[in-house]
Amino acid sequence: MRRASLTQFLIERQRAGRINADLRLLIETIARACKAISTRVNKGSLGGGHGSAGSENVQGEIQKNLDVMSNEILLEANEWGGNLAALVSEEMEDVKPTPTHYPRGEYLLLFDPLDGSSNIDVNISVGTIFSVLRCPKGVEPDEKVFLQPGRNQVAAGFAVYGPTTQLVITVGDGAYGFTLDRETFTFVLTQERIKIPEDTAEFAINTSNMRRWEPPVKRYIDECLAGKDGPRGKDFNMRWVASMVADVYRVLSRGGIFMYPRDSKNKDGRLRLMYEANPMAFIVEQAGGAATDGRNRILDIQPHKLHQRIAVVLGSKNEVDRVTSYHANS
Ligand code: AHG
Ligand code: MN
Ligand code: MN
């Protein structure tokens, strides 16, 4: 059987009335930008992507060349298409409304252009994460219109630039995975209706922060580490890529729990609600998993600022529920 391309997949969604032509074109545009970023990532130092850009982003983080390049590729691809009212990125201080000489569309785009920047120079998978919201009609797209809870997302997705380039997207009817065919340079549907197993014996957390964790997280990991001899009665395995895209892709592929909790140093957590936690939570829930900040469902959190950070616990439902219950009882 011939596999569907991303274009065919999206046209089917449009015919079924799930998305309109504008949203279809927007997702196609983002996918095209991801292909361009994938090419830059592949070139490595030959394409000038390695090394520091010598600048800081709004959050005081040192930008890598590839952070800046990826941001520009996404900006350039999206400003003239006519489907966006405004966009904003982890690497930009302010919201960027669509220039007035282009038509303004009904959507708002948020993205983390290059996730896993610390891995660029060491040849480990990185990626791009995006989230799409609706701009209320007749409203000037300023920061406030972006501050919608994640459950309002109409689409979300992420690309992983690894041994293969993968794209995972949802428009609210399941999570689907596509593989970039390097011969035809098209995304081809390879994972239909992704389903995260409810149970797992694999956890992902940066254990170098252990001394700073809150008691419920410490308890959960201690119990995993105790393995067969502990209260869980089974051995656990650990993975930590330090690129959320790669860690979440693994969770979608074979189950697992991924955590970046708040701790005494990162008091609000480390990951960004709007560019990382919300889109990933939407995808994970669409794949039958769960996503909380330890206490609350991520998709129900009302954001109060664009670059807000948040604790993240996501993946196999029964494990996420367990961590969340440890917080509730603490
Ligand atoms: P970014 O490169 O967009 O700043 O995001 C990196 C994030 C995320 O991808 C990853 O899970 C986490 O930072 C890794 O943090 P540590 O280096 O603290 O492990
Ligand atoms: Mn990131
Ligand atoms: Mn980033």
CA-nearest residue for atom 16, ligand 1, is 242
More confident residue, 78 or 48: 78
202 lines ligand 1 (CB under 6 A): no
Whether residue 184 has pLDDT greater than 80: yes
- The predicted pLDDT at position 81 comes to 86
Domain segments of the chain as ranges? 6-191, 202-328
Confidence of residue 203 (pLDDT cuts 50, 70, 90): very high
| 3-state DSSP helix/strand/coil % of the chain, to nearest 5 | 40, 25, 35
Question: Hey, whose CA ends up nearest to atom 11 of ligand 1?
Answer: 244
Quick one: pLDDT at residue 144? 96
Average pLDDT over residues 226-250: 98
Contacts of 284 (CB under 8 A, 6+ apart): 175, 196, 248, 251, 252, 290, 291, 314, 315
Mean pLDDT on 207-213: 98
* pLDDT at 99 exceeding the cut of 90: no
- pLDDT tops 80 at residue 149: yes
Q: What is the Å distance from ligand 2's center to 76 Cα?
A: 20
- Stretch 252-261: mean pLDDT: 98
Per-residue model confidence as pLDDT tens digits over 260-299 = 999 999 999 999 999 999 999 999 999 999 999 999 999 9
- State if residue 115 touches ligand 1 by the CB under 6 angstroms criterion: yes
Ligand nearest to the CA of 71: 3
What pTM was estimated for this model as a whole?
0.97
> Above 80 in pLDDT, residue 1?
no
Ligand 1 pocket member 57 (CB < 6 A): no
Mean pLDDT, residues 154-181: 98
Residue of 260, 307, 310, 314 to test ligand 1 pocket, by largest number of atoms within 8 Å of CB: 260
Cβ atoms within 10 Å, residue 84: 26
* Mean pLDDT value across the chain: 96
Percent of the chain with pLDDT over 70: 100
Q: In which band, very low, low, confident or very high, does the pLDDT at 31 lie, cut at 50, 70 and 90?
A: very high
**Per mean pLDDT, which range of 51-60, 113-122, 171-180 is the poorest?**
51-60
Nearest ligand (C-alpha, residue 120)? 1
In terms of pLDDT, which residue wins out, 166 or 79? 166
Q: pLDDT tens for residues 128-139?
A: 999 999 999 989
E strand segments, 67-226:
84-89, 96-97, 107-115, 126-134, 155-161, 165-170, 175-181, 186-191, 202-204
Domain 6-191: homologous superfamily in CATH: Fructose-1,6-Bisphosphatase, subunit A, domain 1 (3.30.540.10)
| CATH fold for domain 202-328 | D-Maltodextrin-Binding Protein; domain 2 (3.40.190)
Q: What would the mean pLDDT of 149-165 be, rounded to a whole number?
A: 98
Q: Is 145 in the pocket of ligand 1 (CB under 6 A)?
A: no
Closest-approaching ligand to the CA atom of 70: 3
Region 20-46 average pLDDT: 96
Shortest-distance Cα residue to atom 12 of ligand 1: 242
Q: Give percent above pLDDT 90 in the chain.
A: 88
